Structures are given as structure tokens and as C-alpha cells.
Amino acid sequence: MTTILITGATDGIGKETAKALVAAGHTAILHGRNAEKLAAAAQECGCAPTVQADLSILSEAPKLAEAALELGRIDVVINNAGVFNTRQTRTADGLDSRFAVNTIAPYAITERLLTHLGPSGRVINLSSAAQAPVSLAAMRGEGTLSDGAAYAQSKLALTMWTTALAAERGAEGPMMVSVNPGSLLGTKMVRDAFGTSGKDMSIGVDILVRAALSDEFANAGGRYFDNDIGRFGPPHPDATNREKCRAVLRAVREIAQAPARA
């Protein structure tokens, strides 16, 4: 039996993945930001354990990791929580909320859990087909981006730090992989952003379950799985550039550590 921490498990792909994992006999630790939605999702998953955190607030991501560790063992982390269009594009920390939730919070959670997970652990980061060259200034909170640009940059930044961190940790670290779960799957995010009902969510659920548990992902560290084509594929060229990936990882680290310095 495997224990999997899933962020953003109150809706969409995250919630359905939690349900599938629990139905298969595993333990899912559900994360959410909204207490009522979290309790309802936990109920749907047979009273699964929960942790609450608003991942647009930098200081909450490491606290989420601490709270999850207090529940016991964690084998796999699925950094699934994500945001595309939102009324609140700027966070209290002065960041674009897409970078805060989609890029920085997953790093802070992963970083806190790295030692605990060890070489047998896995980190699955939810990337996207939407990937655009990352402005480090924009990631640090300078200027204003459109919803689409902020989302695409935040997802490439996530993919890039995943590659760089996997290379940095090597055999000592958990398997860390980026996964595009499939485009336009029928979730709240897709309905709100594109006004379409979207494709069957199970396309995304199936690949996340495989990434979390199956042997085919055992040696996938640093790679990008593109579920639009059903196989590991090339991400945006910037994510294959080692120096650029390292630069993104350095910047992400600085931003994630800022509250600790304050």
C-alpha cells in the first residue's frame, strides 16, 4: 500500500485521482484550501486524511508539508493544485498567483519532503502543453502578464525546476517527473478558462495513477510525460537546456525562501 499526498484534491483531476487511488487500496492524503470542499472530498474518499493550505501564500506550502508529515509516512507527492484564470492575480507576497501556486508552492512542498521521500519516493508535477519561455522578472513579481502567458510560463518554470532538481539530487533523491495530464480535460479550470466542457477527466486520472505507482515511471526522473501523445516527449526546448533550468531553479529557490528570511 502506497501513501500519496495530492495537492488540489478538492476538485477536478486531483479529486478524481484521490478517489481512484483510495479505491485501489492506497492511502491518499488530500490537500485543499477550502475547509468545506476538503471535508466533502475526504468524505468521498472514505474519510481520507486531509491538510489545509492556501498555496497562493508562500509561507503555507512548507506548513502543508509539515502537517502532512505529522500524519505519518509519505511515498509519493502529486503536485496537482493549479490555477489559470483568477480574479486575484496578485498575491499578498507580491507575486503573480499562477507562479505562486503552479511553480513556487510545489517546489517548497517538494523541498521540505525530499529527505523523507528518499530514493524510493516519487514527485509528480502537473505540467501542461501550455509552456512559454520564463521571464525570471515576471516570476519574481515584476510587471503584469495575461492569464495565458502567466499560466504557460508558470508551467514551463515548474517543468524546468523539476528537471534541474532531479539532476541535482541524482540517485539520492526521489524520482521527480513532469506530466502533462492531457489538454482540455473537463474540469473547472478548463470550463472557466475556455468555456468548454472538455474531454473525459479519466484521461488525466489514469496517467497520474500510472506516474505514481507503475514501473514505467520508476526511472522517469527529470523527464516530461506528454499525455497528449501518450508517451515521454520533448517539453519546450528551454526545459532541455541545463543552464536555463538551473537558473530557474535558483530563482525559484530564492522566492520560496523569501518568507523564511522575512
C-beta of residue 185 within 8 angstroms of C-beta of residue 199: yes
Nearer to ligand NAP, 94 or 170 (CB): 94
Residue 82: CB minimum distance to ligand NAP, A: 2
Residue 154: CB minimum distance to ligand NAP, A: 9
The x, y and z cell numbers of residue 199, run together, are 474531454
Nearer to ligand NAP, 11 or 111 (CB): 11
Nearer to ligand NAP, 188 or 242 (CB): 188
- Give SS3 for 108: helix
> What is the C-alpha to C-alpha distance for residues 58 and 106, in angstroms, rounded to an integer?
10
Nearer to ligand NAP, 118 or 191 (CB): 191
> What is the C-alpha to C-alpha distance for residues 20 and 133, in angstroms, rounded to an integer?
34
Residue 238: CB minimum distance to ligand NAP, A: 18
> What are the residues binding ligand NAP (CB under 6 A)?
8, 10-14, 32-34, 37, 54-56, 80-83, 101, 126, 128, 180-181, 183-185, 187-190
The helix (run of H) or strand (run of E) holding residue 126 is strand 122-126
Residue 119: CB minimum distance to ligand NAP, A: 26
Nearer to ligand NAP, 51 or 220 (CB): 51
Output DSSP code: residue 255.
H
Residue 243: CB minimum distance to ligand NAP, A: 26
The helix (run of H) or strand (run of E) holding residue 76 is strand 76-79
> What is the C-alpha to C-alpha distance for residues 233 and 97, in angstroms, rounded to an integer?
28
Query: Which residue, 124, 95, 96, 98, is CA-closest to 109?
Result: 124
Angle between helices 242-261 and 105-117 (to 10 degrees): 90
Residue 36: CB minimum distance to ligand NAP, A: 9
> What is the C-alpha to C-alpha distance for residues 202 and 207, in angstroms, rounded to an integer?
8
Nearer to ligand NAP, 26 or 31 (CB): 31
